[in-house]
Amino acid sequence: MKKAVILLSGGLDSTTCLAVAKSKSFSIYALSFRYGQRHEFEISAAKKIARSSQVNDHVVLDIDLRAFGGSALTDNIDVPKSRDGKIGGSEIPITYVPARNTIFLSFALAYAETIESQNIFIGVNALDYSGYPDCRPEYIKSFEKMSNLGTKAGVEGKSKIKIHTPLIDLSKKEIIQEGIKLGVDYSKTHSCYDPAKNGIACGLCDACILRREGFEKANIKDPIEYAN
Amino acid sequence: MKKAVILLSGGLDSTTCLAVAKSKSFSIYALSFRYGQRHEFEISAAKKIARSSQVNDHVVLDIDLRAFGGSALTDNIDVPKSRDGKIGGSEIPITYVPARNTIFLSFALAYAETIESQNIFIGVNALDYSGYPDCRPEYIKSFEKMSNLGTKAGVEGKSKIKIHTPLIDLSKKEIIQEGIKLGVDYSKTHSCYDPAKNGIACGLCDACILRREGFEKANIKDPIEYAN
List, for residues B3-34, the tens digit of each pLDDT value.
Answer: 999 999 999 999 999 999 999 999 999 999 98
ipTM value greater than 0.95: no
- Sheet with B119-121: list strands edge to edge: B57-62, B27-34, B3-7, B119-121, B162-164
DSSP at A135 = G
Q: Are A25 and A51 in contact (CB under 8 A)?
A: no
For position A158, what pLDDT does the model report?
A: 65
pTM for the whole thing?
Answer: 0.88
d(CA A177, CA A171): 10
Lowest average pLDDT, out of A83-87, A154-158, B51-55, B186-190, goes to A83-87
Q: Cα distance from B7 to chain A (closest Cα, Å)?
A: 14
Lowest average pLDDT, out of A183-192, B66-75, B154-163, goes to B66-75
d(CA A126, CA A114): 29
Greater confidence (A118 vs A40) lies with A118
Q: Report helix, strand and coil shares of chain B as percent, to nearest 5.
A: 40, 15, 45
A194 touches chain B (CB under 8 A): no
Lowest average pLDDT, out of A106-115, A157-166, B43-52, goes to A157-166
Q: Cα distance from B131 to chain A (closest Cα, Å)?
A: 9
For position A132, what pLDDT does the model report?
A: 76
Which residues of chain B make contact with A114, given a CB cutoff of 8 A? Answer: 68-70, 98
d(CA A121, CA A28): 10
Which residues of chain A make contact with B151, given a CB cutoff of 8 A? Answer: 98-99, 133-134
| Residue A78: pLDDT band with limits 50, 70, 90 | low
Which has the closest alpha carbon to B147: B131, B163, B158? B163
Question: Would you identify the CATH topology of the domain A3-218?
Answer: Rossmann fold (3.40.50)
| Residue B70: pLDDT band with limits 50, 70, 90 | low
Greater confidence (A132 vs A12) lies with A12
